Amino acid sequence: MIAQHTRKLSLSDIADVREYERERDDFRPHVIELKRRRRVHLGTIVTFLFENRDTIRFQIQEMARVEKLVTDDDIQVELDIYNPMIPEKGQLCATMFIELTSDDQMREWLPKLANVERSVVLRLSNGDEVRAVIDEQHEQGLTREAVTAAVHYLRWDLTDEQVAAFAAGDVTLAIDHPAYLEDITLSNVVAEELLDDLRG
């Protein structure tokens, strides 16, 4: 049986601190531009960053740099946390940020948006709706009944037919939470990036 190719990162993909310092001046601008093409603002306070192998590698490298993580065990902990956010073929993964800048905003919006993470959907040109699922590894720490967290990790699993529908035309990213009804058609730039993820 042939092993399925995986995009997940391993210890050998993470440069040690000195090696990373040498590549960082080139890698960082690349990831900043990548994130620009993969970021979607939905309404006034919600932003999605669609993750891929490079954005997650950057996250782990920067964390290792700041926190001075040097042992394989320390790096493996980060890999275990973040690898689920690298989409495999037929998947999209995103970090959803609820961007609140004051305590008053947080007190108002976080209870109001309880369960918003279960209210995110992709609407495809064929009429299909693909609802985001909460990444299982992060769900326990972030999901509450009476209040939401400011950050959530989401995944969409698409069938081959849904990937074809995604490629065929307009794709809408929507939140159908009663306190935050918003939708946006993905730009061609974003859609092309995400199609690369879906097609593997």
The predicted-structure confidence for 62-103, as pLDDT tens digits, reads as follows: 999 999 998 999 999 999 999 999 999 999 999 999 999 999
Of 24, 7, 25, residue with least CA distance to 15: 24
Exposure on the CB side of residue 53, measured as CA atoms within 13 A: 13
Question: What pLDDT, on a 0 to 100 scale, did the predictor assign at position 1?
Answer: 38
Tell me the average pLDDT of the chain.
Answer: 92
Distance CA 38, CA 50 (A): 5
Question: What pLDDT, on a 0 to 100 scale, did the predictor assign at position 2?
Answer: 38
Of 117, 83, 82, residue with least CA distance to 98: 117
pTM: 0.92
Asked whether 171 and 181 are in contact (CB, 8 A), the reply is: no
